[in-house]
Amino acid sequence: MRSVVIDAPGQIRIDHRPDPVLPGPDGAIVAVTATAICGSDLHFYEGDYPLLEPVALGHEAIGTVVEVGPDVRHVTVGDLVLVSSVAGCGHCVGCATADPITCVSGPQIFGSGMLGGAQSELLAVPAADFQLCRIPDGIDTEEALLLTDNLATGWAAARRADFPLGGTVVVLGSGAVGLCAVRSAIVQGAGTVFAVDPVAGRRDRAALAGAIPLEPPALQAVLDATGGRGAAAVIDAVGNDTTLTDALGLVRAGGTVSVVGVHDLNPFPFPATMSLIRSITLRMTTAPVQQTWPELIPLIQSGRLDTSGIFTHTMPLDNAAAGYAAVAARDADCLKVILSV
C-alpha cells in the first residue's frame, strides 16, 4: 500500500509498505478514501519532535471497512466509517467514559509511531467498535474528517473553557482548530468571541464565523471590551510559549485558560505565583473524540453547527509533500488540506 512518511524535517514522500493485518480479534482494516493534514502533524514536519526512523503520518481518516475480526459487533465490511484520531483499548473503565485519553492501558495516536499512519491506503484499527463510527446520513466527507479530530478538539476546548452563558471568550489562533473552537464557543453560548491571529486573512475567516477579529497583541482591546476585567475564558489553539503567555494575561481573575494547541518538547516557563494569586484555572486537553460524537453529529445534521470553509484544498495522496508545504506556510489561503486516496 501507499503511505505518506517523513524521513527528516521537511522531507515528505510516498512509501510502499506491506498491507496491514488485523490488529487482533476486535480489530478492523479500513480502506481509506480521504485523509487530512492536521496542524499537529507539522511538529514532525518542522523538526519539533525527534525522528529516529521514518514515521507514517496522519491521524484523520475516513474510509470503508474491508475486514473485521470475529469479536467486532458494531461495524461490518462495507460500512463507511470515520476513525477516531485517538485510540484506546475499548474495554477498560477509562474507555467506558468514551474518552480514550483515560484508557488504563494508555491512549495511542495514529500517525505518531504508535499506530499506523492514517495518510495511507489501508489502516489497521484496534478495538474497532470503540474507534470507528459509521458515518451517519447528512454528514459529508469534510464534516466526517473534522469529527475525527479538529472539530472534536475545538468543541472540547470550548467545553473545558467553562465560560458562563453570555461570557467573553478569546480564541488564540484562527487555523482549523481555532475556527472550530470559535464556532463551538458560539454554539455553547458565548456572548462575545474574539479571534486573535497575526494573519489578516485568517482573522477574516474567523469574522465570517461570528468572531470579532483582533491582531496580536490583543490585551488592550480585550480589556477595553470587558471594562478592564479580561476574558472569562481563553482558548489557546496554538500552544507555543507566546500564546500560552498571552492567554494567561488575557483571562480575568478566576477565569479559565483552555489549551488544545500542541506545544513542542521544551519546558514552558509557567508563571505559577501570579496564576495562583489570580486563581486561574488551566486546562490542557487532548480531545475525548468518541465522547463528542453524540453532541456534534446532531448539531451538524440540524445545521446549527456550520463546518464549511475550514478545508481549503483537496489534493491526491501522491501530492502530500505539496500539501504539507502549503499547510506549513500558515497563510490565509490554506487552512486545511484533504488528501484523497
Q: Is 204 exposed, middle or buried (0-12, 13-18, 19+ CB in 10 A)?
A: middle
Residue pLDDT, tens place only, 75-106? 999 999 999 999 999 999 999 999 999 999 99
Q: Are 152 and 176 contacting, i.e. CB atoms less than 8 angstroms apart?
A: no
Q: Where are the beta strands (DSSP E) in the chain?
A: 2-8, 11-16, 28-37, 55-56, 61-68, 80-83, 86-87, 108-109, 122-125, 132-134, 168-172, 192-196, 212-214, 231-236, 251-259, 281-284, 313-316, 337-340
Three cell numbers written together for 138: 447528512
Vertex 157, ends 156 and 162: CA angle to 5°? 95
Across the range 231-235, mean pLDDT stands at 98
Q: Are 245 and 268 contacting, i.e. CB atoms less than 8 angstroms apart?
A: no
Residue pLDDT, tens place only, 23-82? 999 999 999 999 999 999 999 999 999 898 999 999 999 999 999 999 999 999 999 999
Residue pLDDT, tens place only, 246-266? 999 999 999 999 999 999 989
pLDDT reported for residue 26: 98
Whether residue 113 has pLDDT greater than 90: no
Lookup result for grid cell 483499548: 89
What would you measure as the largest C-alpha separation in the chain, in angstroms? Answer: 61
SS (H, E, C) 91-113: CCCCHHHCCHHHCCCCCEEECCC
- Domain 2-149+288-340 belongs to what architecture? Alpha-Beta Complex (3.90)
Residue 168: band (very low, low, confident or very high) from pLDDT cuts 50, 70, 90: very high
Across the range 321-325, mean pLDDT stands at 98
pLDDT reported for residue 224: 97
The pTM assigned to this predicted structure is 0.96
Residue pLDDT, tens place only, 115-141? 999 999 999 999 999 999 999 999 999
Between strands 212-214 and 192-196, the pairing is parallel
249-to-190, 217, 230, 241, 257 alpha-carbon distances in Å: 20, 11, 8, 13, 10
pLDDT reported for residue 114: 80
Whether residue 340 has pLDDT greater than 90: yes
pLDDT reported for residue 77: 98
Residue 325: band (very low, low, confident or very high) from pLDDT cuts 50, 70, 90: very high
- Estimate the crossing angle of helix 200-208 against helix 176-187, to 10 degrees: 30
Whether residue 225 has pLDDT greater than 90: yes
Topology annotation, domain 154-284: Rossmann fold (3.40.50)
Q: Is 16 exposed, middle or buried (0-12, 13-18, 19+ CB in 10 A)?
A: exposed
Query: Residue 140 and residue 161: Cα distance in Å, rounded?
Result: 28
Q: Are 176 and 150 contacting, i.e. CB atoms less than 8 angstroms apart?
A: yes
Report the share of the chain in percent with pLDDT over 70: 100
CB-CB neighbours of 166 under 10 Å: 10
Query: Residue 172 and residue 170: Cα distance in Å, rounded?
Result: 6
Query: Residue 194 and residue 172: Cα distance in Å, rounded?
Result: 8
Domains 2-149+288-340 and 154-284 equal at CATH topology level: no
Domain extent listing, the chain: 2-149+288-340, 154-284
Closest among 120, 54, 112, 55 to 86, alpha carbons compared: 112
